[in-house]
Structure 1
C-alpha cells in the first residue's frame, strides 16, 4: 500500500491510494470475517413482541461472551468510568437497556462501513479513489478489523513491536501494524 493522497476539492475531492492483489485479498478476508461475526450477533438477538408491534429493533441485553465481539461491542458504561453510580446499576439495568436499544444500530453502521470498503476495493488490486464519505467508512471498517485482530492477539501496551519469525502470531502482528499504518495515513489524508 502506498500513502493516501488528496486530489481535487469540494465535491470532486478524492482520497487516493493503491493496493496490490494480496492486500485486497487480505482486506476482503478480514472484513468478510468481521461481517460474518457481526451478522451472527445480530441474527441471534432475541425477539421482542413489543418491538415487532412498534417496528423498533432491539438487540441483545447482555454483552457478548466472545472476546472479539466484546471488543467490537463493549458496554456503554463501566464501574471505573463513573464513581457516582454503583457497579450494580452500571453493570445491570443501565448497560442492558442501552445495549438492547443501541446494539442493532451500531451493528448496522459497522456492517454498512464494511460493505462500503468491500465495494470500493479494486478487483485484483490497483488504484482507489474514495469520496470523503467512503474514506470515513474505510476508517470505521479498518478500526473494527484492527480491534477484532487486536482482541484475538491479546494486544496490550506490553506487546512487542515485532515477534520472532517463528512465533505463531508473527504474521498476524505484522498485519495488525499494517492496518494501523493504513488507518493513520488515511486519517492524515482526511485532515
Structure 2
C-alpha cells in the first residue's frame, strides 16, 4: 500500500494503477454527488453539510442559504485537486505541496464520510470485523469492495497526515 513520504515541503507517494483508479472513481463520485446528485434528503448530504441549528429549522435554512454554496464549491474543488494531481497513465508518483496535501486530506475525509454513511458505519463499527464478516457471506460482493475502499481511504488519510506533520 501507498505510503506518503516527505521530500522538502512536498508529500510524495508512488501510487499503483489500482490506487489511481480507486481514487479517481471516489473523487469523481464526490463531485457527482455535490453537483448532479445533490439532495438535502440524502443522508450523505446531511453528513457532509450538517445542520448548524438542528433544533431550529428556520435558522438552519437561513444559515445554509448563506454558506452552502461556498462549502459545496470548496468540497468540489478539493475533490478536483485529487483528480488534477493523479497520474494520467495509470500508476505513478503524486507530489503534493502543502495546499494540495490539505485539499487531499479534506477530500479523503469527505469521501470516507460519504462512504461511511452508505455502509452504515458508526463510531462503534470495527471495520476489520465488518470486512471479515462480509467476506464470509460473499467474498465477491460490492460490500466487501466498498468496505475495503473505506479502509484504504482511512489508511491513506493517516499516511498523508503523518507526512504532513513530519
Query: Shorter-chain TM-score: which interval?
Result: 0.7 to 0.9
Unpaired runs of 5+ in structure 1? 43-62, 79-86
Q: 2:44 aligns with which of 68, 77, 85?
A: 68
Question: SS state of the match for residue 18, structure 1?
Answer: strand
Higher relative contact order (CA 8 A, sep 6+): 2
Q: d(CA) in 2 for partners of 1:157 and 1:115?
A: 28
Q: Please, which moves more after superposition, 180-189 or 155-164?
A: 155-164
Size of the aligned set, in residue pairs, is 156
Matches within 5 A, 1:11-160: 13-40=9-36, 64-78=40-54, 87=55, 90=56, 92-123=57-88, 124-160=90-126
Structure with larger Rg: 1
Q: d(CA) in 2 for partners of 1:5 and 1:77?
A: 40
User: Are 1:7 and 2:7 matched, yes or no?
Assistant: yes
Higher helix fraction (1 or 2) = 2
User: TM-score, length-normalised on structure 2?
Assistant: 0.87
Q: d(CA) in 1 for partners of 2:52 and 2:14?
A: 37
User: TM-score, length-normalised on structure 1?
Assistant: 0.76
Question: SS state of the match for residue 129, structure 1?
Answer: strand
User: Are 1:171 and 2:136 matched, yes or no?
Assistant: no
Question: SS state of the match for residue 26, structure 1?
Answer: helix
Question: SS state of the match for residue 94, structure 2?
Answer: strand
Matches within 5 A, 1:173-188: 173-188=147-162
